[in-house]
């Protein structure tokens, strides 16, 4: 049994706690949350996950106190993004592997320090880019890699939500230097999936909208590849009706469309045939990513499906998009 401690019991900390109950071979053994008002409550975010509930595990204020009593194998870091690097280093120094929420960090130097900590302490780092494990995106990757629809032609990914409101009006989310804004916080899911699917683009071009304090709130990006192929993404915190994600992936011999708000949500068209409703596996990316990482830990192998280096490239992409937003030009990677 792999023992996980969860650091930060805000919205996503509660998602991790609920998720770990559904993963065989894993157990949440402690939570570290500095704000005691969260100890008996659940923070509601922009999506619902079954089983989110007040805590029923020992609670601590620091990871060092927790580690003395509980001796966890792995720390799941569910802290505001600007804290990801320092707590990854502290967790590994205290003898734990790390699951760290996306985005990995807000600078490449922080990503490099996290990768260096893995070497220094001989620990695994799993960046929770859950979309690589989300059933509808796993289905796309499988069909894409099989080559059965022929040459890839055009791709559009979207992820639309209201502003994260669960931290209140002064939330760290709404401060660019702490969250990176929508570009790093929400859109990074698609930036990550794009290069997982299509490989590294040679350049990016982005246009965006900011909040009054200058924090990015919406971004539309072009990922520029060699050859006859287009790829755009849209990420927004300015959407008025809930949350939706999806994509349209067009190939020379067919296309796949996913819209999380539709039922059926995932469809495949082969040239000249009626649309097919694609079956997807049960579960969600949160569960699947833990199942995968628990398996890696049990086998003592690096998580090849999302290496820290690959998660770092997602930050490189987001930084290039930020530069494009600021400079109004194409940025080569
Ligand atoms: N994968 C996803 O779908 C997803 C969804 C939401 C958030 N996230 C990511 O998860 C991270 C956290 O987001 P959130 O929505 O849970 O934020 P949040 O503000 O709801 O929760 C963060 C929690 O960390 C606690 N905290 C802060 N500093 C601490 C410290 N030093 N020690 C102990 N606790 C501390 C806060 O009190 C708070 O409860 C962010 O990086 C965010 O981008 C991922």
Q: Which residue has the higher pLDDT, 280 or 184?
A: 184
Pocket test for ligand 1, best of 6, 8, 87, 180 (most atoms within 8 A of CB): 8
The secondary structure element, H or E, covering residue 236 is strand 230-236
Q: Is the N-terminal amide bond of 145 cis, ω within 30° of 0? A: no
In the reported structure, the alpha carbon of residue 51 is separated from the centroid of ligand 1 by a whole-number distance in angstroms of 18
User: CB count, 10 Å around CB of 119?
Assistant: 9
pLDDT at residue 166 in the model = 85
State yes or no: pLDDT of 156 exceeds 80: yes
Out of 3.40.1190.20, 3.30.360.10, 3.50.50.60, 3.90.1150.10, the CATH code matching 132-282+314-332 is 3.30.360.10
In the reported structure, the alpha carbon of residue 186 is separated from the centroid of ligand 1 by a whole-number distance in angstroms of 13
Angle, helices 84-93/63-70, rounded to nearest 10 degrees? 30
Query: What is the average per-residue pLDDT within 251-262?
Result: 97
Pocket test for ligand 1, best of 18, 78, 86, 167 (most atoms within 8 A of CB): 78
**Contact between residue 23 and residue 296 where contact means Cβ atoms under 8 Å apart:** no
pLDDT at residue 125 in the model = 98
State yes or no: pLDDT of 126 exceeds 90: yes
Locate the domains of the chain by residue range. 2-130+287-305, 132-282+314-332
Measured from the CA of 81, which atom of ligand 1 is nearest? Answer: 41
**Contact between residue 333 and residue 320 where contact means Cβ atoms under 8 Å apart:** yes
Query: What is the average per-residue pLDDT within 3-14?
Result: 96
Instruction: Please work out, in degrees rounded to the nearest 5, the angle formed at the alpha carbon of residue 18 by the alpha carbons of 101 and 34.
Output: 60
pLDDT digits (tens, 9 = 90+) for 188-247: 999 999 999 999 999 999 999 999 999 999 999 999 999 999 999 999 999 998 999 999
State yes or no: pLDDT of 101 exceeds 80: yes
What is d(CA 219, CA 322) in angstroms, rounded to the nearest whole number?
Answer: 9
**Atom 21, ligand 1: which residue's CA is nearest?**
10
pLDDT digits (tens, 9 = 90+) for 164-184: 988 777 899 999 999 999 999
Look up residue 300 and give its two tokens.
Answer: 């003592």
In the reported structure, the alpha carbon of residue 37 is separated from the centroid of ligand 1 by a whole-number distance in angstroms of 14
Measured from the CA of 286, which atom of ligand 1 is nearest? Answer: 1
What is d(CA 21, CA 37) in angstroms, rounded to the nearest whole number?
Answer: 23
Q: Which residues line ligand 1 (CB under 6 A)?
A: 7-13, 32-35, 38, 43, 45, 78-81, 83, 101-102, 128, 130, 166-167, 185
In the reported structure, the alpha carbon of residue 332 is separated from the centroid of ligand 1 by a whole-number distance in angstroms of 32
Query: What is the average per-residue pLDDT within 73-78?
Result: 98
The secondary structure element, H or E, covering residue 268 is strand 266-270
pLDDT at residue 114 in the model = 98
In the reported structure, the alpha carbon of residue 225 is separated from the centroid of ligand 1 by a whole-number distance in angstroms of 34
Name the CATH superfamily for 2-130+287-305.
Answer: NAD(P)-binding Rossmann-like Domain (3.40.50.720)
State yes or no: pLDDT of 48 exceeds 90: no
pLDDT at residue 240 in the model = 94
Query: What is the average per-residue pLDDT within 292-309?
Result: 97
Half-sphere CA count of 280, side-chain side, radius 13 A: 23
Query: What is the average per-residue pLDDT within 289-304?
Result: 97
Q: Looking up tokens 């595990």, which residue turns up?
A: 57
In the reported structure, the alpha carbon of residue 14 is separated from the centroid of ligand 1 by a whole-number distance in angstroms of 10
In the reported structure, the alpha carbon of residue 106 is separated from the centroid of ligand 1 by a whole-number distance in angstroms of 15
pLDDT at residue 53 in the model = 76
Confidence of residue 51 (pLDDT cuts 50, 70, 90): confident
State yes or no: pLDDT of 43 exceeds 90: no
pLDDT at residue 52 in the model = 77
Percent residues over pLDDT 90 in the chain: 89
């Amino acid at each position: 049994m792999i023992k996980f401690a969860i650091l930060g019991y805000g919205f996503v900390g509660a998602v991790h706690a609920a998720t770990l109950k559904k993963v065989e071979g894993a157990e949440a053994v402690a939570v570290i949350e500095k704000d005691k008002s969260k100890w008996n409550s659940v923070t509601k975010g922009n999506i619902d996950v079954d089983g989110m509930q007040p805590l029923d595990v020992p609670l601590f204020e620091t990871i060092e106190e927790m580690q003395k009593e509980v001796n966890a194998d792995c720390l799941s870091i569910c802290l505001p993004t600007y804290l990801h690097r320092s707590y990854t280093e502290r967790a590994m120094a205290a003898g734990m592997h790390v699951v760290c929420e996306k985005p990995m960090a807000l600078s490449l130097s922080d990503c490099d320090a996290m990768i260096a900590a893995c070497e220094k302490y001989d620990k695994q780092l799993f960046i929770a880019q859950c979309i690589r494990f989300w059933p509808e995106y796993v289905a796309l990757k499988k069909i894409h890699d099989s080559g059965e629809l022929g040459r890839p032609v055009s791709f559009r990914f979207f992820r639309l939500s209201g502003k994260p409101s669960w931290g209140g009006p002064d939330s760290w989310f709404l401060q660019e230097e702490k969250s990176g804004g929508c570009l790093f916080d929400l859109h990074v899911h698609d930036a990550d999936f794009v290069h997982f699917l299509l490989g590294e683009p040679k350049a990016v071009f982005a246009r965006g909208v900011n909040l009054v304090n200058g924090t990015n709130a919406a971004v539309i990006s072009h990922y520029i590849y060699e050859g006859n192929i287009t790829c755009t993404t849209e990420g927004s915190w300015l959407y008025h009706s809930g949350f939706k994600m999806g994509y349209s992936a067009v190939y020379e011999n067919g296309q796949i469309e996913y819209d999380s708000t539709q039922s059926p949500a995932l469809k495949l068209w082969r040239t000249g045939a009626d649309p097919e409703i694609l079956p997807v596996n049960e579960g969600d990316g949160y569960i699947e990513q833990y199942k995968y990482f628990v398996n890696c830990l049990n086998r003592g192998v690096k998580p090849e499906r999302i290496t820290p280096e690959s998660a770092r490239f997602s930050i490189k992409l987001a930084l290039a998009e930020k530069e494009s937003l600021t400079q109004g030009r194409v940025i080569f990677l």
